[in-house]
Amino acid sequence: MNIALIDDDITSNFIHKTKISKQYPKANIKLFNNGKEALDELLNNKFFDYAFLDLNMPVMNGIEFLQHHKNLNKDQKIKKIILFIEQDVANDFIAKNEIYMRLTKPLNDEKINRVFEGK
């Protein structure tokens, strides 16, 4: 399982990587500080099953990343994008941008189970 953590908050990335690794030690987790870094990785034929995406980042924010992501070839796209969001967003935004799930930070065991096991 390949997972991208796309967030400019270094502390959040560290905590989330640690928590996911604890529950899923075989997961391959890659950290990105902004959407551009993650998009470049996808364009270089790297594949991710899941991505946890923050909206507010420098260089390329989460919304800009989603706009580029939906134009990628099917084999380049991330299978399931989990959006970190504090406020509610319209259902058409979720559908249009192929968002798998919305969560608030920080991740905990329950949220991780919900993402990976559908619990």
Q: Give the pLDDT score at 42.
A: 95
Tokens standing for residue 112: 């991780």
Q: What is the pLDDT along the chain (119 residues), one digit of tens a residue?
A: 999 999 999 999 999 999 999 999 999 999 999 999 999 999 998 899 999 999 889 999 999 999 999 999 998 999 999 999 876 666 777 778 888 998 989 999 999 999 998 75
Cβ distance 65 to 37 under 8 Å?
no
The SS3 of residue 26 is coil
What CA–CA distance (Å, rounded) separates 17 from 5?
Answer: 8
What CA–CA distance (Å, rounded) separates 9 from 30?
Answer: 14
Reported as type and span, the H/E element at residue 31 is strand 28-32
Q: What's at 107, amino acid-wise?
A: L
